[in-house]
Structure 1
Amino acid sequence: MKRFRITVILIAAVLLLIPAASHADDGYDGDQIILSWTDDSAHTQTITWHSKSREDGYVQYNREGAQLSPQHQVKAKIIEVRKDYYRYEASIKGLSQKTTYEYRVGDGDRWSKIRTFTTAPVAEHSRVTASDDAESFEFLYLGDVQYKKRSEDYKAWGKMIQDIRQRNPGIAFSLMGGDMVNSPRNMNDWNLFLSQATSVFAGIPMMTTIGNHETTVRADLYLKMLALPQNGPKGEEEEFYSFDYGNCHIAVVNTSFFLDNRKAAMEEEWDRELDSINGWLEEDLTRSSSRWKLVVMHHPAYGISDGDPIYDAIREEWEPVFERGGVDLVLCGHQHLYMRTKEIGDITYVMGNSGKRRSTYFNGENVPEYTESLNATDSNYQIIKVTEDKLTLESYDEEGQIIDKWTKSKAVSPIWKAAAAAGIIILVAAAAVAIRLRLRKRR
């Protein structure tokens, strides 16, 4: 008995010396983690994810290499998408520009693995002093993800975006052109899409627009699943929004607003809402002083086929606003092919298709005269590179082979240099006056 007691005491002593098992970075059931922005891209980061547990959710974050702890922690709001599906949304504020942070999501005891994100540079028009060397960066555009064979095609798309990230480790964020699912209320579609998207978009923000396959009358499930800026027209927040990254301003619009079922449901309110949208879009684009301006939407203004009244509506209602607002590039999807137009009103229109569906609009011969480049064979993606004086779009097939390249140049404005020179002249003149005054006093 004495030996047994001694053995028990020794075992207890050994157990006391062993550190308690840590729950950090292990055991949390959170998945489908997606980064986006709902505010300033240089100083905030929004993180959404899914968990089955419906416990309180948190994000812990800190600069890369620093410790994660409750000192830097944000509580998430829980969004009940359906009775058996919850999304969590947390926005981190007060971050430093151009800085890499580590983060993890969890319930306070159990945590996901640690991931990273990097904040944007301060928007050029927000700088206190003008820069002779504006930040250059690149980002990704992905057209329709929509599948033919659901599980198989989402898996192939997931591999493609991982390959894209590996080939292009410097991409800062991604724009999505809509039709990410086939059915707007099918949770199997959403689960597969977000599960594949996590591999890349838990590390870089994913900014989306609404396709006709995300909406019935309204894109209700889409708006619950994703977190986007709410700076759009009243009543249409997140369906319409804009954000800045460096010297680039990006406006995102919902072309499905022109669908007949939306008009029928809204009745006379639809016309008033359209006026509000048009006013917002005009003000948003003309107010921006960014060097480059882009628009993202789902339906094309200029496509391979012109049989849909929505295309006419876009050209009638929004194309003049794009032109007055100084838009350089419009990115779209919908017709399941790659297509780039010639410049139309100083704007280039590019259609992408990252999924496996192929166009039923193209018969092999019906190529409009405004077409500059066309590929109806391959899944594709676009890398957009932004510098002070150039906007470059390179389009690739899913194997990473280039299929098209487009560049727009703008001469660097010498205004700020002239202003700086004028400032120096003023300072020199002021110094000369001061010296003369002193000399006169001495006399």
Structure 2
Amino acid sequence: MKRFVLLLLLIGLFGQVNFAQQTRTYPKADISFLVLGDFGRQGEYHQKEVAKQMAITGTEADIDFIITTGDNIYPKGVASALDPIWKSSFEDIYTGHSLHVNWYPVLGNHDYAGNPQAEIEYSQISRRWNMPARYYSQSFKLSDGSELLIAFLDTSPFELSYFKDDDEPFRKNVISQDTLAQKKWFTELMSKSKARWKIAVGHHPLETSGPRMDRVNHVANSWKSLLNDLGIDFYLAGHEHHLEYNQLGPSLHHIISGAGSKITPLKSQNKAKFAKSTNGFAAFFVQAKTLEFHLIDENGQTIFSRHIKK
């Protein structure tokens, strides 16, 4: 009997050791961050499961901040900066210690269906929600003194179909924005910058393997050539509810991270280097001359990664 008990204790001990060895490791980085999209559903549709794995990855990778690719709150954004849905769809879901870093959001079409200005105003209430305007930029220093520059775009006003939407408040919100001014701002920002890495974030993808793949892509028509011409390294998007990677030019890499809650089936994977209809998020690890990203599912497993050198 004593030997049996001792055997159980040894099994338990080795089990704990093996479990500890399963801790995931990520690349060393000057700057690391997560990318999440299409998520705010009051914890439903696996939102909580994704949040849990984000917290684990955030701890293991020691992340610096989090980017959202829009559709932050479903179904129709928020009514005000004091809307209770902020608590049920954001504050009460992303509770992990590592997730209490700066969040840099963009607006999606569902955010435009509510009060998009209130998402900017929420920056004055939440210590981690940082959205100074509908489009803006952030820069980060790397270890050799070079720079990572990220531009956060407002892409809904570039989707021409929204100008005919039956929802009048939504339609007016979109029409009210000056798209020429935004493109001028972006062009000047990127043209003048000497940043080593340049990333743009918007809600709408330039290409997709999802349900919208055969639709006219007004956002791509307006932005794809410009992003290539300006030497942008990455365009991060959501809108389609899956994880996807593709390359759209000599140096333009394209990520869809829109799987923060409800997912949708893929339509075709023929053009994508990787696409999967699964809940999850992306993680980026940036150094002066290398960048690595992982697409991570709701179980915390890296399902695709790519290492890029400059």
Q: TM-score range by the shorter chain?
A: 0.7 to 0.9
Give how far 1:387 is off.
1.2
Give how far 1:294 is off.
0.4
Please give the alpha-carbon distance, in whole angstroms, between the structure 2 residues aligned to 1:191 and 1:406: 35
Please give the alpha-carbon distance, in whole angstroms, between the structure 2 residues aligned to 1:175 and 1:367: 26
Change beyond 3 A, Cα 1:404–1:218: same
1:315 counterpart (193, 202, 220): 220
| Structure 2 stretches lacking a partner, 5+ long | 1-28, 125-129, 142-146
Other-structure match for 2:301: 401
RCO higher in structure (CA 8 A, sep ≥6): 2
Deviations 1:8-40 (A, max 9, x none): xxxxxxxxxxxxxxxxxxxxxxxxxxxxxxxxx
Other-structure match for 1:275: 180
Please give the alpha-carbon distance, in whole angstroms, between the structure 2 residues aligned to 1:390 and 1:162: 24
Deviations 1:376-424 (A, max 9, x none): 1x211211111121111111112221100112211xxxxxxxxxxxxxx
Please give the alpha-carbon distance, in whole angstroms, between the structure 2 residues aligned to 1:267 and 1:188: 24
Please give the alpha-carbon distance, in whole angstroms, between the structure 2 residues aligned to 1:179 and 1:150: 14
1:265 counterpart (172, 178, 199): 172
Deviations 1:176-211 (A, max 9, x none): 111221121363432111232353476321111111
Please give the alpha-carbon distance, in whole angstroms, between the structure 1 residues aligned to 2:254 and 2:224: 11
2:60 is equivalent to residue 167 of structure 1: yes
Give how far 1:308 is off.
4.2
2:68 counterpart (150, 162, 176): 176
* 3-state SS of paired residue (1:171): coil
Please give the alpha-carbon distance, in whole angstroms, between the structure 2 residues aligned to 1:321 and 1:203: 34
Change beyond 3 A, Cα 1:178–1:268: closer
Please give the alpha-carbon distance, in whole angstroms, between the structure 2 residues aligned to 1:202 and 1:399: 17
State whether residues 137 and 387 of structure 1, in contact with CA within 8 Å, keep that contact through their aligned partners in structure 2.
yes
Other-structure match for 1:306: 213
Instruction: Letter of the 2:31 partner, please give it.
Output: F
State whether residues 332 and 350 of structure 1, in contact with CA within 8 Å, keep that contact through their aligned partners in structure 2.
yes
| Structure 1 stretches lacking a partner, 5+ long | 1-134, 231-237, 411-443
Change beyond 3 A, Cα 1:263–1:176: closer
Instruction: Letter of the 2:269 partner, please give it.
Output: V
Q: How does 1:287-298 map to 2 (within 5 A)?
A: 287-298=192-203
Please give the alpha-carbon distance, in whole angstroms, between the structure 1 residues aligned to 2:156 and 2:138: 21
Give how far 1:341 is off.
0.8
State whether residues 286 and 324 of structure 1, in contact with CA within 8 Å, keep that contact through their aligned partners in structure 2.
no
Other-structure match for 1:52: none
What is the number of residues matched between the two proteins? 258
Give how far 1:152 is off.
7.2
| Percent pairwise identity | 19
State whether residues 184 and 221 of structure 1, in contact with CA within 8 Å, keep that contact through their aligned partners in structure 2.
no
Give how far 1:146 is off.
4.2
Instruction: Letter of the 2:308 partner, please give it.
Output: K
Give how far 1:347 is off.
0.5
Please give the alpha-carbon distance, in whole angstroms, between the structure 2 residues aligned to 1:243 and 1:249: 6
Give how far 1:335 is off.
1.0
CA RMSD of aligned residues (A): 2.7
2:103 is equivalent to residue 196 of structure 1: no
Please give the alpha-carbon distance, in whole angstroms, between the structure 2 residues aligned to 1:264 and 1:250: 28
Give how far 1:141 is off.
1.2
Other-structure match for 1:346: 251
Deviations 1:139-166 (A, max 9, x none): 111122144x745744334323322223
TM-score under structure 2 length normalisation: 0.74
Q: How does 1:35-434 map to 2 (within 5 A)?
A: 136-147=30-41, 150=43, 153-168=46-61, 170-182=62-74, 183-185=76-78, 187-192=83-88, 193-200=90-97, 203-216=100-113, 219-226=116-123, 228=130, 230=132, 238-246=133-141, 247-257=147-157, 258=159, 259-260=162-163, 261=165, 265=172, 273-304=178-209, 305-309=212-216, 312-360=217-265, 362-363=266-267, 366-369=268-271, 371-376=272-277, 378-410=278-310
Instruction: Letter of the 1:143 partner, please give it.
Output: G
Give how far 1:316 is off.
2.1
Give how far 1:245 is off.
1.1
Change beyond 3 A, Cα 1:158–1:284: same
Please give the alpha-carbon distance, in whole angstroms, between the structure 2 residues aligned to 1:387 and 1:151: 35
* 3-state SS of paired residue (2:306): strand
**Which protein shows a greater Rg?**
1
Deviations 1:85-118 (A, max 9, x none): xxxxxxxxxxxxxxxxxxxxxxxxxxxxxxxxxx
Deviations 1:346-391 (A, max 9, x none): 201110134231115x24xx2242x101111x21121111112111
State whether residues 33 and 284 of structure 2, in contact with CA within 8 Å, keep that contact through their aligned partners in structure 1.
yes
Please give the alpha-carbon distance, in whole angstroms, between the structure 2 residues aligned to 1:323 and 1:208: 23
* 3-state SS of paired residue (2:65): strand
Change beyond 3 A, Cα 1:200–1:330: farther
Instruction: Letter of the 1:189 partner, please give it.
Output: I
Please give the alpha-carbon distance, in whole angstroms, between the structure 2 residues aligned to 1:347 and 1:269: 30
